[in-house]
Amino acid sequence: MARRLPPLNSLKAFEAAARNLSFTKAAEELFVTQAAISHQIKLLEDHLSIKLFMRRNRSLLLTEEGQSYYLDIKDIFVNLHDATERLLSRGAKGSVSIALTPSFAIQWLVPRLSDFAAHNSDIDVRIKAQDHDDNSLTDDVDVAIYYGKGHWSGTHADKLHTEYLIPVCSPLLLSLNNGLKTLEDLRNFTLLHDTTRTNWKDYLKSVGVQDINVNQGPIFSHSSMVLQAAIHGQGIALAHSVLAQPDIDSGRLVVPFTQALISERAYYLVCRDSQIDSPKIKIFRNWLLNKVKKESQGLEFDKH
C-alpha cells in the first residue's frame, strides 16, 4: 500500500510556524503572506485530521500533538537542507572530468596533476582517454583537450600551446651513427611517423630539403608510441614539441636540429559555453592556463 505523505508546502509552513511560534514570522521566512501560511496549516490539519496549533492570549501555541509532530519532523528538514548543500557543493567542486587523447594525458597532463591536487584537494580529477577528438562533449565530461584549429560549435576554447613539430631522437642513436650533421643526413635514418606521413613531408619542404623518401618508416597511432620508438633508438621522430618536452628535459631525447615547423593546429582546453562560469571548471581552467604560461616561457625554436 502506497504511503500517503502530507503536502510538502504544508509541512514547510508548519515547520517554520512551529519553530517561530508565529504565522507572521513563518510568512516572512518563506516569502509568502500570513494568509498563505494559515491556509497551508489548515490543509495539513485537514490531511491529518489533527489540530496542530491553538491560540492563547494573542500568542500561538502548539497542541500536544503538534509539539510531538514538530519534534519528529524538524530534524528531517535540517537533514534535507544539509543533504542539498552537500549535493550543491559536489556540483560546484567535487570532481572535474576531462576527455583527452592518451598521448596528451600520459606525456603532459598526468605528470602535473599532483600540483593541481596540492592546491585543490577538494576537487577530484577524472580522466577519460579517447583515441580521437569527436568534437563533442558528452554528458559525463566537463572539459576536453582537443587538437585542432580552435573552432568547435557551442564551446569555449582556450589555446594551450603554439604547436611546433621538431625532430627528436635518442642520444644513443647519435652516438652510434656519425652521420647526422645536416638535415640532408636524414635520408640515412629511419623516419618515424605519427598517424600520417604528411608531417615529415611538410617539415622537409619548409626547411628546403628534397629527395628524402618520406614514404618509408613505421606509422604509430599515438604520439606517445612515436616518442617511445625514438627513445629506444628506432629512428628519428617528428614530434609535437609539447609532448616531447618532458623526454627532452630528462635527456631521453635530443633535438638534433632546431628548425621547427609551426603547426596549423594546436591543443585547446574546451568546455561548453554554458559552463564557462562553473566554479570547478573555472578553477581547473585557471590552473591549466597558468601552468602552460609558466612552462612556455623560454622555449625557442627556429620557426618555419
pTM listed for this prediction: 0.64
Place of cell 516572512: 28
Distance CA(139)–CA(135), nearest Å, equals 13
Mean of pLDDT values over 43-65: 91
Residue 280's nearest CA partner among 98, 111, 68 is: 98
Mean of pLDDT values over 87-93: 57
Distance CA(161)–CA(242), nearest Å, equals 7
Report, in angstroms and rounded to the nearest whole number, the Rg of the chain calculated over CA atoms.
Answer: 32
**Residue 129 pLDDT > 80, yes or no?**
yes
Rounded to the nearest 10°, the torsion over CA 178, 184, 188, 194 is 110
Q: What is the pLDDT of residues 183-241, one digit of tens each?
A: 998 988 999 998 888 999 999 999 999 889 898 899 998 888 999 999 999 999 999 88
**Contact predicate 270/156, CB 8 Å:** yes
Residue 184's nearest CA partner among 259, 92, 78 is: 259
Distance CA(73)–CA(75), nearest Å, equals 6
Q: What is the pLDDT of residues 9-48, one digit of tens each?
A: 999 999 999 999 999 999 999 999 999 999 999 999 999 9
Fold agreement between 8-91 and 164-262: no
The class level of CATH for 96-158+265-303 reads alpha beta
* Residue 98 CA from chain centroid, whole number: 4
Question: What are the Cα distances from residue 249, in Å, to 26, 106, 213, 246, 303?
Answer: 66, 16, 30, 5, 20
| Domain boundaries of the chain, sorted by first residue | 8-91, 96-158+265-303, 164-262
Quick one: fold of 8-91?
Arc Repressor Mutant, subunit A (1.10.10)
**Contact predicate 157/151, CB 8 Å:** yes
Distance CA(105)–CA(143), nearest Å, equals 13
Which architecture characterizes domain 164-262 according to CATH? Answer: 3-Layer(aba) Sandwich (3.40)
**Residue 1 pLDDT > 50, yes or no?**
no
